[in-house]
């Protein structure tokens, strides 16, 4: 029969538990050995330490998961998220268009819920790396204090023991109106992040808490209009040359990359999806530095680092 200690160590390997402290004489895994988790790495049984009398045995072994980030299953979840986006938009448009296809599309894009699949994707990675669903907020209690305004409602918050670990935005855009929406998204991203960082500096989330992790996911319809070069107006001063001859897809890529380079966000992911391929989960990543895998690794790493330091 398996001992209680062996079961706890097995739970760590299976991801049901992050760490355990068990009496050494109950454990079959001595310090320095490891517990294999098929396809997901190896977890060390770490350290031996003396604990005070009356704790159930003086000599104990601490077992814990390693520091690698568990991204298992993310590719399928990402495809599912893209498919959910398109199916939700189509369902919303069908209910709201009233015979006007363009009006139905605009209403669907602003109707919400289409990015819920991405919320599930990120939530799943965070849970895989040690959090519980109770630490992740996606439908309520999404407000954070700002510095230039009282509060800002985020798309996802991760809060553990009154510590803000992450705040994430999930945004999307489908045609036909790319120009105004791009400018609105740009102003929103820059203003939102700057507001949060000033609030953080002023102690809005606690004077001694670690720096939170900010992320932005952008899904853009890939079509002729989003890929066509767009002109710029220069009545008084020239624009930066990298904006000339660019499409809205190019401009989103520049925006997201600069948000990260200027440290307004810690990571960003940029996905393009076609109307005829998206319902089947089809998408592509035009920039390797703005990929979904790197984004998920960053968010999961934030959680793993925080929990390991506790």
Q: Convert the pLDDT of each residue in 196-226 to its tens digit.
A: 999 999 999 999 999 999 999 999 999 999 9
The answer to whether the CB of 15 falls within 8 A of the CB of 42 is: no
Angle at 296 between CA 294 and CA 298, to 5 degrees: 70
- Residue 123 confidence (pLDDT) above 60: yes
The tally of domains found in the chain comes to 2
Of the three residues 15, 43, 64, the one that is the final residue of a domain is 64
Whether 85 and 170 share a structural domain: yes
Whether 28 and 108 share a structural domain: no
User: Is residue 69 in a domain?
Assistant: no
Whether 92 and 126 share a structural domain: yes
* Confidence class for position 28, pLDDT limits 50, 70, 90: very low
Whether 17 and 100 share a structural domain: no
User: Is residue 187 in a domain?
Assistant: yes
Q: What is the rounded average pLDDT of the residues 233-248?
A: 96
The answer to whether the CB of 274 falls within 8 A of the CB of 249 is: no
- Structural domain of residue 32, as residue ranges? 4-64
Q: Please state, in angstroms and rounded to a whole number, the distance separating the CA atoms of residues 21 and 231.
A: 63
Whether 84 and 231 share a structural domain: yes
Q: Please state, in angstroms and rounded to a whole number, the distance separating the CA atoms of residues 91 and 86.
A: 9
Whether 277 and 213 share a structural domain: yes
Region of poorest pLDDT, from 30-39, 131-140, 225-234: 30-39
Respond yes or no on whether the N-terminal peptide bond of residue 68 is cis (omega within 30° of 0). Answer: no
Q: Name the token pair of 234.
A: 């220069």
User: Is residue 180 in a domain?
Assistant: yes
User: Is residue 246 in a domain?
Assistant: yes
The pLDDT, as a whole number, for residue 116 is: 95
User: Is residue 204 in a domain?
Assistant: yes
pTM assigned to the model: 0.76
Whether 106 and 12 share a structural domain: no
Angstrom distances, CA of residue 81 to CA of 93, 107, 285: 18, 20, 14
Average model confidence (pLDDT) across the chain: 81
3-class state of residue 91 by DSSP: helix
Q: Please state, in angstroms and rounded to a whole number, the distance separating the CA atoms of residues 27 and 4.
A: 8
Give the distance, in angstroms, between the CA of residue 43 and the centroid of all CA atoms in the same chain.
24
* Confidence class for position 310, pLDDT limits 50, 70, 90: confident
pLDDT top residue among 57 and 7: 7
User: Is residue 296 in a domain?
Assistant: yes
- Residue 13 confidence (pLDDT) above 60: no
Whether 123 and 269 share a structural domain: yes
Q: What is the rounded average pLDDT of the residues 65-74?
A: 78
Of the three residues 64, 89, 110, the one that is the final residue of a domain is 64
Angstrom distances, CA of residue 80 to CA of 73, 132, 281, 296: 11, 22, 6, 15
The pLDDT, as a whole number, for residue 113 is: 84
* Confidence class for position 99, pLDDT limits 50, 70, 90: low
The answer to whether the CB of 85 falls within 8 A of the CB of 43 is: no
Whether 29 and 116 share a structural domain: no
* Confidence class for position 100, pLDDT limits 50, 70, 90: low
Whether 201 and 180 share a structural domain: yes
Whether 148 and 215 share a structural domain: yes
Whether 237 and 191 share a structural domain: yes
């Amino acid at each position: 029969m398996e001992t209680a200690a062996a079961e706890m160590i097995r739970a760590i390997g299976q991801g049901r538990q992050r760490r355990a402290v068990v009496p050494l004489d109950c454990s079959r895994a001595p310090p320095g050995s490891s517990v294999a988790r098929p396809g997901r790495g190896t977890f060390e049984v770490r350290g031996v330490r003396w604990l005070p009398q009356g704790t159930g045995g003086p000599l104990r072994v601490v077992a814990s998961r390693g520091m690698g980030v568990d991204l298992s299953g993310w590719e399928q979840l990402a495809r599912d998220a893209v498919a959910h986006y398109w199916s939700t938009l189509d369902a919303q448009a069908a209910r709201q268009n009233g015979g006007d296809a363009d009006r139905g599309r605009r209403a669907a894009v602003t109707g919400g819920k289409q990015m819920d699949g991405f919320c599930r994707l990120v939530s799943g990675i965070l849970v895989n790396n040690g959090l519980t669903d109770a630490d992740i907020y996606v439908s309520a209690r999404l407000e954070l204090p700002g510095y230039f305004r009282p509060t800002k409602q985020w798309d996802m918050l991760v809060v553990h023991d009154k510590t803000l670990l992450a705040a994430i935005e999930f945004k999307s855009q489908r045609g036909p109106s790319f120009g105004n929406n791009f400018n609105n998204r740009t102003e929103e991203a820059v203003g939102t992040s700057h507001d949060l960082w000033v609030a953080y500096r002023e102690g809005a989330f606690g004077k001694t808490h670690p720096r939170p992790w900010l992320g932005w996911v952008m899904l853009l319809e890939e079509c002729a209009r989003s890929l066509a070069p767009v002109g710029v107006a220069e009545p008084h001063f020239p624009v930066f040359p990298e904006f000339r001859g660019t499409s809205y897809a190019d401009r989103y890529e520049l925006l997201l990359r600069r948000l990260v380079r200027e440290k307004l966000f810690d990571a960003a992911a940029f996905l393009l999806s076609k109307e005829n391929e998206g319902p089947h989960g089809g998408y592509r990543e035009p920039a390797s530095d703005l990929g979904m895998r790197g984004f998920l690794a960053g968010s999961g790493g934030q959680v793993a680092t925080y929990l390991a330091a506790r």
